[in-house]
Amino acid sequence: MDAAPVDEIVVVATRLPEALSEQAYSSADLDAAAIEQALRVDDALRTVPGVSTFRRNSSSAANPTIQGLSVRASGPSGAGRTLVTLDGAPLNDPFGGWVIWGALPPDTIAHARILRGAGAGPYGAGALLGAVQLEERATPGAALTLEGGERGWARASGVAEARGGGVSMMLAAYVDQSDGWVAVHEGRGAADVPLQSESAAAVARLQWRGDGRVLSVRLSGYDEARSAGLVGADSTDSGASLSLILAQPDGPFGWRAQLWGMQSDLTNSSVATALDRSSTIPANDQIATPAVGWGGNGALRWSSDAGGVELGVDARFADGETRELFRFQGGSFTRTRIAGGQTLVAGAYIEAWREAGPWLLTGGARFDQWRAFDGARTERDAATGALTLLVDAPDHERNAPTARLGVRRDLGGAVSLRAAAYAGFRPPTLNELHRPFRVGNDVTEANAALDPERILGGDIALGGENAGIAWSFGAFATRLDDAIVNVTLGAGPGTFPPGVFVPAGGAYRQRLNAGAIEAVGIEAQAGGALGAGFEWRAALNYTDAEIGGLRPAQAPQWSASGGIDWRVGNGAAIVADVVYESGRFEDDVNSRRLAPATILDLRLEQELTAALSVYAAVENALDADIETAESGDGVESFGAPPIARLGLRLRLP
């Protein structure tokens, strides 16, 4: 009997194919295996040198407000200076600009592309130092991962997609928890507790495909809770997002339209610590941070074998506020605060490219308008409701023309030379404009008069593929003007505008457009295979950045990574990744230096059947002291010690 015919599976992506123009710009890629083997998506991204969140902790331990991503280590910030998208929809929080990495089940991410350099052209506002494009999986089948490990670590994640008759449905869910570790080693007191965390996320996506078009509807949600490592200092974050895409990506005329919306909320309590770390006193209770963001984007592309043109528009709106209790006296909070506003950024762009013999020429231009409006900060006496502070923030409006140009020359022998120049901008977030915050005894004031950050830069690189080795080596230079920086203006004890008390051992800072961050650097990467079962990779980033003669806070000068993936036979594999970072400064005045760190992660995996495998992994196998913070009184905090875990993975076609 003949086998029943199998319907051909035609995959129609929700995105336009990568434009030929992207070959003129600097980028790095991570595949699905590299992402799903990491604890979280941000852990995988940090294996690319120069890519980091504001501090060295994984998002499983870091406060949500410092999970913004930066590229090239020229100016990390809590909000992040990098635009992160998932199939075109921005993931940056509408209130703070950071990314909640726990909202992304790693098993659902098929590919990540890290674009280095400002995002004029199709990326736009927020892509100041670059952009990270995440692509969600779109393949039938199912996968289930269960794992447990030291320090109470446990994770379960699953994803399944079924397809038939041009319709597909994907469901995914993810939960993890950790008992954590005590971050303070020396001088630890009763105030110090483990960095515990719990996270959950879920995704549902429905797609219809037919006649070369695709319609996709995606709904997701997340919920997290964690300790900040001090008694009484905790945070929670939750949110949901909805995305609708209609596209016809293939053919000489391709187009794409997307609408998206997101909602988020954050609670965050901070404390003041006794000098001997024996106790804490409540300092601030951020009881809610309701925020909504919505927007859309669209693109129309004409392309041929020799070139193409793309026209596009996009818009993003954000509305949010923080609701807080502060000024703890006599056993209770004596003040309340509500601060927030709205922002809107909208733009249009044109991008064109042309291939002529060995040359690829490309260029794009954008025009954006940013507005901040309806901003206000109200503080009242908690007992009487009497008004103690009222700030009506003035409305802001800025126009932002930007552009990028690129060229690539095929030199023969699979070697090419490319160069690019670009301009970009990042508007301040609602958090930066309106919300003061406190970490330990350090207080940072908001600034409703902040202007957008702007950048000019360029890079050049030589690369190719020879003898099975893909490689590139390049250099870059950037100037980031009107950098939004937490500037130290005084030290406690004392009272500072607008009536902020800073205790002993603390620093008083304010967000300011504090001049320019100038950076020059080099970046290199290489990888290849030795035989059929051994792959290797290595990469390096060096960034010499300064602002006012000092190095930006949390910006390492050197970072490097390397790894191997060795399929030893009989279904066994050994995976090793090492990441090195030189020292970085905790603060803007370069008075607190965080030590260098080398982190080695190991993984041994064994296939039991074609569908089932088991693995053992250990993070920070060298037991490195990963210094993540240093307080004003010299107390150091550290990242995760070695954590071993065992896991089981089931894959079904």
What confidence tens digit (pLDDT) does each residue in 611-632 have?
Answer: 999 999 999 999 999 999 888 7
As a dihedral over the C-alpha atoms of residue 327, residue 331, residue 336, residue 339, rounded to 10 degrees, the angle is 50
pLDDT confidence of residue 7: 42
The C-alpha atoms of residue 152 and residue 154 are separated, in whole angstroms, by 6
**CA 467 → CA 408, 415, 525, distances in Å?**
22, 12, 16
> How do residues 88-147 score in pLDDT, each as one tens digit?
999 999 999 999 999 999 999 999 999 998 877 788 888 999 999 999 998 899 999 999
Inform me whether the pLDDT recorded for 76 exceeds 80. no
Q: What is the mean pLDDT of residues 215-221?
A: 98
SS3 122: coil
- 482 beta partners: none
Residues 6+ apart with CB under 8 A from 331: none
pLDDT confidence of residue 67: 85
The C-alpha atoms of residue 583 and residue 596 are separated, in whole angstroms, by 4
The C-alpha atoms of residue 493 and residue 561 are separated, in whole angstroms, by 43
Give the long-range contacts of residues 171-174, CB within 8 A, separation 24 or more.
171/202, 171/203, 171/204, 172/105, 172/107, 172/108, 172/202, 172/203, 172/204, 173/105, 173/200, 173/201, 173/202, 173/203, 174/105, 174/106, 174/107, 174/199, 174/200, 174/201, 174/202
Q: What is the mean pLDDT of residues 599-613?
A: 96
Phi, psi values for residue 43, rounded to 5°: -65, -40
The C-alpha atoms of residue 552 and residue 518 are separated, in whole angstroms, by 10
Residues 6+ apart with CB under 8 A from 329: none
Strand order in the sheet with 442-445: 437-439, 442-445, 507-513, 484-491
> How do residues 433-461 score in pLDDT, each as one tens digit?
998 887 767 888 889 999 999 999 999 99
Q: Is residue 530 part of a domain?
A: yes
CATH number at residue 211: 2.40.170.20
pLDDT confidence of residue 6: 38
H and E: helices and strands count for the chain: 3, 41
Of the ranges 37-41, 143-147, 486-490, 535-539, which one carries the lowest mean pLDDT score? Answer: 486-490
Structure-model confidence comparison of residues 418 and 515, the more confident one? 418
The C-alpha atoms of residue 183 and residue 636 are separated, in whole angstroms, by 8
Q: Is residue 326 part of a domain?
A: yes
Please give the single-letter amino acid code of residue 586: E
- 567 beta partners: 573
Please give the single-letter amino acid code of residue 505: G
pLDDT confidence of residue 615: 97
Tokens describing residue 370:
């940013």
String of DSSP letters for 225-269: EEEEEETTEEEEEEEEEEEEEEEE-SSSEEEEEEEEEEEEEEEEE
Residues 6+ apart with CB under 8 A from 365: 120, 121, 349, 350, 401, 402, 403
HSE-CB at 383 with a 13 A cutoff on CA atoms is 7
Closest to 430 in 3D by CA, of 344, 320, 323? 320
Contact status, residue 525 vs residue 499, Cβ threshold 8 Å: no
Contact status, residue 175 vs residue 200, Cβ threshold 8 Å: yes
Q: How many CB atoms lie within 10 A of CB 501?
A: 15
* Farthest-apart Cα atoms in the chain, separation: 88
Q: Is residue 2 part of a domain?
A: no
Contact status, residue 344 vs residue 316, Cβ threshold 8 Å: yes
Inform me whether the pLDDT recorded for 12 exceeds 60. no
pLDDT confidence of residue 9: 43
Q: Is residue 353 part of a domain?
A: yes
pLDDT confidence of residue 540: 95
Per the prediction, the chain carries an average pLDDT of 91
Q: How many CB atoms lie within 10 A of CB 383?
A: 10
Inform me whether the pLDDT recorded for 472 exceeds 50. yes
Closest to 340 in 3D by CA, of 556, 557, 94? 94
> How do residues 152-174 score in pLDDT, each as one tens digit?
999 999 999 999 989 999 999 99
String of DSSP letters for 370-414: EEEEEEEEEEEETTT--EEEEEEPPPEEEEEEEEEEEEEEEEETT
Q: Is residue 14 part of a domain?
A: no
The C-alpha atoms of residue 119 and residue 97 are separated, in whole angstroms, by 16
Using the structure block, give the residue that is written with the tokens 């006012």: 548
Of the ranges 13-17, 538-542, 562-566, 594-598, which one carries the lowest mean pLDDT score? Answer: 13-17
Tokens describing residue 167:
């319709």
Phi, psi values for residue 369, rounded to 5°: -125, 130
With vertex at residue 573, the alpha carbon angle to CA 572 and CA 576, rounded to the nearest 5 degrees, is: 155
Inform me whether the pLDDT recorded for 499 exceeds 80. no
pLDDT confidence of residue 440: 65
CA 44 to chain centre: 11
pLDDT confidence of residue 598: 96
Q: Is residue 242 part of a domain?
A: yes
| pTM for this model (two decimals) | 0.93
CA 437 to chain centre: 21
Inform me whether the pLDDT recorded for 586 exceeds 60. yes
pLDDT confidence of residue 10: 46
Q: Is residue 12 part of a domain?
A: no
Pairing mode of beta strands 82-86, 130-136: parallel
Inform me whether the pLDDT recorded for 360 exceeds 50. yes
The C-alpha atoms of residue 139 and residue 331 are separated, in whole angstroms, by 57
How many domains is the chain built from?
A: 1
Q: What is the mean pLDDT of residues 305-317?
A: 95
Phi, psi values for residue 64, rounded to 5°: -55, -30
User: 83 is in which domain, residue-wise?
Assistant: 20-652
The C-alpha atoms of residue 348 and residue 313 are separated, in whole angstroms, by 4
- 30 beta partners: 112
Closest to 16 in 3D by CA, of 126, 121, 125? 121
**CA 621 → CA 40, 56, 180, 640, distances in Å?**
18, 16, 17, 11
String of DSSP letters for 167-209: EEEEEEEEEEEE----SB-TT--TTB----EEEEEEEEEEEEE
- 588 beta partners: none
CA 277 to chain centre: 32
The C-alpha atoms of residue 594 and residue 309 are separated, in whole angstroms, by 47
Inform me whether the pLDDT recorded for 75 exceeds 80. no
Q: Is residue 15 part of a domain?
A: no
